[in-house]
Amino acid sequence: MNDTLKNDFEDSFEKSLKSLGYLFPTSEDEVVSFEARNKLEETPENFCSAIDLLSKAKHTLTNPKTYLENNKTITNLAWAARKGGDIPEAILKKMKSDRDKAENDEK
């Protein structure tokens, strides 16, 4: 049996989450409920205009592993800084190697 087939409860819970905005509202009913419960936000000013958008190609994303590795490096640095004093050369070297590895994985 395929265990992704949803039961009635899961269906109705999912519908509620769409109306609340945790998932994309995909029916008219969910759109009405979503708008009743969420204030529309202004599109950020740094987003491009309609005409500029038409000259762009579709996006692709950076590999999420890079984000994780970079975040790990930043966490290491912050931790080292909190401990005070200079960061030992060996740790700096390891951090640099983590960062380089993450960047290479991305390519």
Partner 1 sequence: MTKAIILQPLTNEVLAELFLSMAMKEENRTEAERAFSVFYNRYKNYLYTIVNNACRSWEMYGDELIEAVFENSFLTVYAKAESFIVIEDIPFERQENRMKSWLGKIAKNEMLQLLRQFKVDKDMIDYTDDLTSFINIEEETEHQATSDYLLAEKALQTLSERDRSILTTYLMFEDGNRNLPSIEIQRLSDMWNTHPDNMRQIKKRSLAKVEMYIKTNKNK
Q: How many residues bind partner 1 (CB under 8 A)?
A: 56
- Site membership for partner 1, residue 104 (CB under 8 A): no
DSSP string, the chain: --TTS--HHHHHHHHHHHHHTSS---SHHHHHHHHHHSPPPPPPTTSPPHHHHHTSPPP----HHHHHHHHHHHHHHHHHHHT-SPPPHHHHHHHHHHHHHHHHHH-
Q: Segment contacting partner 1 (CB under 8 A): 46-54, 73-81, 82-90, 92-100? A: 46-54
Chain contacts with partner 1 (rule: CB under 8 A): 2-6, 9-10, 12-34, 37-44, 47-51, 53-54, 56, 58-64, 67-68, 71
